[in-house]
Amino acid sequence: MATGTDLAVEVRGLTKRYGDLEALGGIDLEIRRGEIFGLLGPNGAGKTTTVEILEGYRDRDGGTVSVLGYDPATERPEILLRAGIVLQSTGVEPYLSVRETLRMYATFYPSPRPVDELLELVGLADKRDERVNHLSGGQQRRLNMAMALVGDPDLLFLDEPTTGFDPSARHEAWAVVKDLASLGATVVLTTHYMDEVQFLADRVAVIVKGHIVAEGPPSALGLDHAVRTRIRYRPPAGVDVPDRFRGEAAADGFVVIEDDEPVRRLHELTGWALEAGVDLDDLEVSRPSLEEVYLQLTDGAPATPTPGSAPEAGA
């Protein structure tokens, strides 16, 4: 277990209710300084509630929270001087230019990062004189990141930073986050994209219905296993399929093979089919849906109490 000073964020027994709805049912988190920490979960799991409590936007009902050594409920200004926040959805003064916006944000902080350097970092250098309301969605998101970074934060919160991005924009955003982390900042990232935490995060906590159901490095969580690629085809009638390509038979007559090395397996499969002169009907390669993956991950996790079944509210 890490000691207090190594931790950027420490959360114990965090609870939050919205009326009858239990949003967080007692969450523990330890986020080490300098790491990229992913909070992974489906929509409505409590990711945003958790980070907004860390950011001091929401009050908690119970538990203890320490962010960079400060309590967000009572010492929020101290945290805001040292942390950058990228909200899930946000608005920016539309009539200032990109550069002016960052120059204004720079005035809020004691030792801001040079604005031009930031523009390069997030890839907005050629848009510096563009009005904010003329930026595309992806460019606005990168501006949000630059705004969060201008104070040279020790800790960066990213709430679903790439939701709504096309694949190339996501990869660009990931590269930016990797760059930031290499500068030494701690990054707390929420997402419902499994590949995002796999690519970015040093450690991950999986949150489902307000409870942490798994925690650890992405590799140790079985995320790899959970997102194994799936090869499907319909075996031709009357052909003897070798054992290694039999996989599992699905109800619709398809054969399903799951594999960590889909390229090799596919090569072997199609090689065999060509050699044997066999037609593989409806051959397809796919990855499991998010829902399927969470179902796998939450299998064997402690059952989440249904609201009202346990007298633990407000504990």
List of residues contacting other proteins (CB under 8 A): 55, 57, 77, 80-81, 85, 87, 89-96, 100, 104-105, 107-109, 131, 147, 151
Residue 44 to residues 21, 160, 192: CA-CA distances in angstroms? 11, 13, 10
Of the pair 61, 100, the CB lying nearest other proteins is at 100
Q: Considering the complex, what minimum distance in angstroms separates the CB of residue 91 from other proteins?
A: 3
Q: Considering the complex, what minimum distance in angstroms separates the CB of residue 100 from other proteins?
A: 7
Of the pair 30, 55, the CB lying nearest other proteins is at 55
Strand residues in the chain grouped as ranges (E): 7-18, 21-32, 36-40, 62-67, 83-86, 155-159, 186-191, 203-208, 211-216, 229-234, 248-249, 255-259, 281-286
Q: What is the DSSP letter of 154?
A: S
With beta carbons less than 8 A apart as the criterion, state whether 148 and 92 touch.
no
Q: Cα–Cα distance between 186 and 142 in angstroms, integer?
A: 18
Of the pair 185, 194, the CB lying nearest other proteins is at 185
Residue 6 to residues 28, 30, 231: CA-CA distances in angstroms? 16, 10, 44
Of the pair 30, 159, the CB lying nearest other proteins is at 159
Q: Considering the complex, what minimum distance in angstroms separates the CB of residue 105 from other proteins?
A: 7
Of the pair 29, 132, the CB lying nearest other proteins is at 132
Residue 147 to residues 34, 68, 108, 163, 197: CA-CA distances in angstroms? 20, 20, 11, 18, 23
Of the pair 72, 210, the CB lying nearest other proteins is at 72
Q: Considering the complex, what minimum distance in angstroms separates the CB of residue 292 from other proteins?
A: 31
Q: Considering the complex, what minimum distance in angstroms separates the CB of residue 111 from other proteins?
A: 11
Amino acid, res. 303: A
Q: In 3-state terms, what secondary structure has residue 153?
A: coil
Q: Considering the complex, what minimum distance in angstroms separates the CB of residue 39 from other proteins?
A: 17
With beta carbons less than 8 A apart as the criterion, state whether 186 and 33 touch.
yes
